[in-house]
Amino acid sequence: MEGEANREEEEEAQAHVDIWKYVFGFVDMAVVKCAIQLGIPDALEAHGGPAKLSDLSSVLRCSPSALHRVMRFLVHRKIFKEAPAGYLQTPLSRLLLKNGEKSLAALLLLESSPVMLAPWHGLSARVLANGSPAFESAHGEDIWSRRVSGPEVFDRVESVVDVGGGDGTALRLLVEAFPSIRGINFDLPHVVSVALDCAGVEHVGGDMFASVPKADAAYLKWVLHDWDDDECIQILRKCREAIPKDKGKVIIVEAVVEEDNKDKLEYVRLMLDMVMMAHTNKGKERTSKEWAYVLSESGFSRHTIKNIKAVQSVIEAYP
């Protein structure tokens, strides 16, 4: 009995601490955004070793006392480290470099922009029966009108169409790694019209619901989660029509959520699912069962799901 009472007391005390995470949950994102905008990770990288507050504030042209408070917060959150000789980078802050290879700085700046934050205020309205899409309610149009790997996956593939490839960055990296592959970056006309030229990559504008350019493999990263099952099936059928029956495949890079997944990244996948609810009309993250449903309804005979120890898995589907 006494043990039970103690546990309840501890839970009560913990609740009084935890609740603040929700009251000020946005602060982590806002301060990390501030660090990226000021270029703190980049300045530390350029400095090469521990940097004193005075060095950092003069390079970044910041008020030393304000920068000290920002750094105190970010050191506490383990974004940076502090040693007697000065501030240091961590693996986390390297992911915030403006031009780092694996940097998530651009994604963080996008997700923390006023355009992307506004729909979150309409999340509860979206959940109501007949609720209205949060992004459209906030902006009067959907996100697309607005639109501001494992190497073995590409074995024996001579051409790849990146469906919803955006500015073509993924294909550029793929073609640089595998110069024998011909890349077709396929996206809405107004998106490809501003994509940068790149040797080995042809930009094609169009609508993936109408048709997809022909290639050995169709690649879709972070595209299908924007759409509901019927829409996914329409897109996937167009992809199946675009690839050869004998050796073609569709490569999907997306999260696979599972109810009982203890993996540390499951929290990120579930957050992404909430992002889909706020930013798209009917998008969602899918379980392996839901992926199996949309793929078989699209006419694929079989598929595999590869866990690549990342937020996303690689799904390969065969005609």
Ligand X SMILES: C[S@@+](CC[C@H](N)C(=O)[O-])C[C@H]1O[C@@H](n2cnc3c(N)ncnc32)[C@H](O)[C@@H]1O
Which residues are part of the catalytic machinery?
Answer: 225, 254, 285
Residue 232 phi, psi (nearest 5): -60, -40
98, 39 Cβ separation under 8 angstroms: yes
Window contacting ligand X (CB under 6 A); options: 23-31, 149-157, 160-168, 258-266? 160-168
Cβ-in-10-Å burial (0-12, 13-18, 19+) of 235 comes to buried
26-34, 80-88, 217-225, 243-251 -> range binding ligand X (CB under 6 A): 217-225
Does residue 221 touch ligand X according to CB under 6 A? Answer: yes
Burial of 224 (0-12, 13-18, 19+ CB in 10 A): buried
Tokens coding 314:
């690689």
**For ligand X, the closer CB: 62 or 208:** 208
Residue 1 Cβ vs ligand X, minimum distance, rounded to whole Å: 54
User: Which of residues 153, 223, 277, 295 is near ligand X by CB under 6 A?
Assistant: 223
228 is an interface residue for ligand X by CB under 6 A: no
H or E segment and range at residue 315: strand 313-318
Which tokens in the block code for residue 241? 């029509």
319 binds ligand X (CB under 6 A): no
Q: Which stretch binds ligand X (CB under 6 A): 59-67, 186-194, 242-250, 260-268?
A: 186-194
Min separation Cβ 92 and ligand X, Å: 22
Cβ atoms of 109 and 129 within 8 Å: the answer is no
**Binding footprint of ligand X, residue count (CB under 6 A):** 16
Identified binder of ligand X from the candidate list 187, 216, 254, 285, rule CB under 6 A = 187
Residue from 51, 43, 41 nearest 85 by CA: 51
Q: Binding to ligand X by residue 166, rule CB under 6 A?
A: yes
Q: 84-143: which residues touch ligand X (CB under 6 A)?
A: none
